[in-house]
Amino acid sequence: MPLLELDQLAVSRGDRTLASGICWQLEAGELMHLRGANGAGKSSLLEVLAGLRRPAAGVLRRNPDPLPLHWVGHRNALNPHLSAVENLRFWCEFNGQAVQRVAPALDRLALPAGARRRAVRTLSAGQKRRTALARLVLAPRPLWLLDEPLDGLDVDGIATFAGLLSEHLKGGGIAVVTSHQALPKDLPAVREWTLQR
């Protein structure tokens, strides 16, 4: 049985339909790469999948419902005045996770030790992205919704992210990823959907 199923889904912003006729499903271990021009509705579709907005039409099925998820948007959702460590500790406390997981998560994303205690506003784009992606390690959740996760990452960062995502998929998780860049080639079970207006 699919963990996530979209049946004739449509996405709108205001009174304007961005994309319609979206039909696909994801079973354990599968990744959907969303493609489309700027303004095609990729980020808006992720918001629908995350439950942040209602679809304009169609049916969205989750199994189970609710389906626990991680959302990493293109803005990272980090407090710029807190350090990377403080941001992740706050996330852990808010989500009932052990704060002892923060250091191993930052190790996994290879954030340099010298960057971990600095205010996020002073970090590079790639370091901010690594910090945001470290939330994926803090608590296992079957659905990952990732909006342009490769933005700001260097070659090593992309390889680190690819390894993390591959482990998630091989462990039975699913993911929906938007990216204008090509995804790493060694990811398992990658499918593509191009949003059409």
Q: Are residues 60 and 7 in the same domain?
A: yes
- Residue 150: other Cβ atoms inside 10 A: 20
Q: pLDDT digits over 146-180, tens only?
A: 999 999 999 999 999 999 999 999 999 999 999 98
| pLDDT at residue 197, rounded to an integer | 64
Partners of 166 in beta bridges:
none
Q: Are residues 8 and 64 in the same domain?
A: yes
What is the extent of the structural domain holding 11? 1-68+141-197
pTM: 0.94
The conformational region for residue 29 under phi > 0 = left, psi -120 to 50 = alpha, else beta, is left
For 158, residues 6+ apart whose C-beta sits below 8 A from its C-beta are 150, 184
Between 126 and 40, where is the model more confident?
126
Flag whether pLDDT at 186 surpasses 90.
Answer: no
Between 39 and 147, where is the model more confident?
147
For 79, residues 6+ apart whose C-beta sits below 8 A from its C-beta are 86, 87, 90, 120
Flag whether pLDDT at 181 surpasses 90.
Answer: no
pLDDT above 70 coverage of the chain, percent:
99
Q: Are residues 54 and 87 in the same domain?
A: no
Q: pLDDT digits over 71-105, tens only?
A: 999 899 999 999 999 999 999 999 999 999 999 99
Flag whether pLDDT at 127 surpasses 80.
Answer: yes
Q: Are residues 18 and 62 in the same domain?
A: yes
Q: How many domains would you assign to the chain?
A: 2
